[in-house]
Amino acid sequence: MNDERHAVIVAARRTAVVPKGGAFKGLQADELAAPVLRQLITDAGIRPDQVDQVILGNALYGGGNPARLAALRAGIPQSVPAMTIDTQCCSGLDAILIAARLVASGAAQCVLAGGTESFSRAPIRMHRPAGPGESAIAYARPPFAPAPFEDPDLTDAAARLALERHITRDDQIRYAIASHQAALASASVTKDRLVRPEGVDLDMDPFSRNLTPGTARRAPILSGDAETGLSAATIACEADGAAAVLIVAGREGAGDGFTGLKVLNGASVGHDPSKPALGPIAVAWDLFRNLEMKPEDLESVEIMEAYAPQAMVTAEELGIVPEQLNRMGGALARGHPIGASGAVLAVQLYETLRSGRVSYRGAQKRGMALIAAAGGLASGMAVETV
């Protein structure tokens, strides 16, 4: 980021994260995002016409521009452009990184950025018939890497990682239980900060619960073997939700009065598509080297928990201790609204560092958000309080 001018996250909000088919089942992705955008404008005390751009990530809609729909629904003037990006699971965090770079470069003064996803209302995917007499063919997901690259099912890739690293089912279950416990422990903060879409009054993420070892052990194995396989208890469930931040320009020593999170840097990397879970490790080390930081310098680290082994290996390789990790619970306790998940990490990081729930020996609290995506992509963002 520019040394003189920098990007500051001055507001961060999200909806609850709700399993597919739940309380948000009737809401399109843009309908989930619009109230979040409106609330951010209110929180920041700005006018809608002061927003220069809206950028949202989305992974499942495969067309259209949900960001534009959400912006117009939110009452943002029609003169304000809006853009939707798709880097699958990285989409929400990548949208925030793009916004931060626009602001830091001087191309914008104020940007709304995040992600939104509805598994419940996502279009049905079909391949168009190739010729007369042929039928459309349904498909579950598009390819994320072409031949000769390996393009594994993500759950199978996570199961393979668990087998290679010998992360047992009991190891995974203990990790999942801790994620749920952290989410429940922070419920009072979450309750006051969640945005409620019209007609849906949720004051917590409904999937968070008092998960017990017995309940988790009864969940059937979905991929892998009896010893290290993954189950519904150790895989984040498909979910609906939206999350976003408002980013403005600040200047070093200018006394502009902004409080929030200064974006220190962000990075995206590409790596081996056959090992999608390992990308966050590479992106984190890139950020540490660039910022001359060490893992122990971070007060809080948000690592996406699409799969328990993925987050566990990332934390272990980086030397992140439990006291730093996903302090308000992770995706195993919430769910995974694909295009919004990276933005949820950013909001959780904002809440953790700004809530007063944590203390730090330095003048600023520092944190990092990390997420991987299909096709061998990963993104990360480092921030500090201002």
> Which amino acid makes up residue 52?
D
Exactly one of 6, 180, 271, 336 is catalytic; which is it?
Answer: 336
Beta pairing, strands 239-251 & 110-117 = antiparallel
SS (H, E, C) the chain: CCCCEEEEEEEEEEECCEECCCCCCCCCHHHHHHHHHHHHHHHHCCCHHHCCEEEEECCCCCCCCHHHHHHHHCCCCCCCCEEEECECECHHHHHHHHHHHHHHHCCCCEEEEEEEECCCCCCCCEECCCCCCCCCEECCCCCCCCCCCCCCCHHHHHHHHHHHHCCCHHHHHHHHHHHHHHHHHCHHHHHHHEECCCCCCCCCCCCCCCCCHHHHHHCCEEECCCCCCEECCCECCEEEEEEEEEEEEEECCCCCCCCCEEEEEEEEEECCCCCHHHHHHHHHHHHHHHHCCCHHHCCEEEECCCEHHHHHHHHHHHCCCCCCECCCCCHHHCCECHHHHHHHHHHHHHHHHHCCCCCCCCCCCEEEEEEEECCCEEEEEEEEEC
Would residue 166 show up in a list of annotated catalytic residues for this protein?
A: no
Q: 384 forms bridges with which residues in the sheet?
A: 262, 366
Would residue 90 show up in a list of annotated catalytic residues for this protein?
A: no
CA nearest neighbour of 141 among 376, 375, 379, 341: 375
Exactly one of 89, 90, 110, 237 is catalytic; which is it?
Answer: 89
Q: Give the residue numbers marked as catalytic.
A: 89, 336
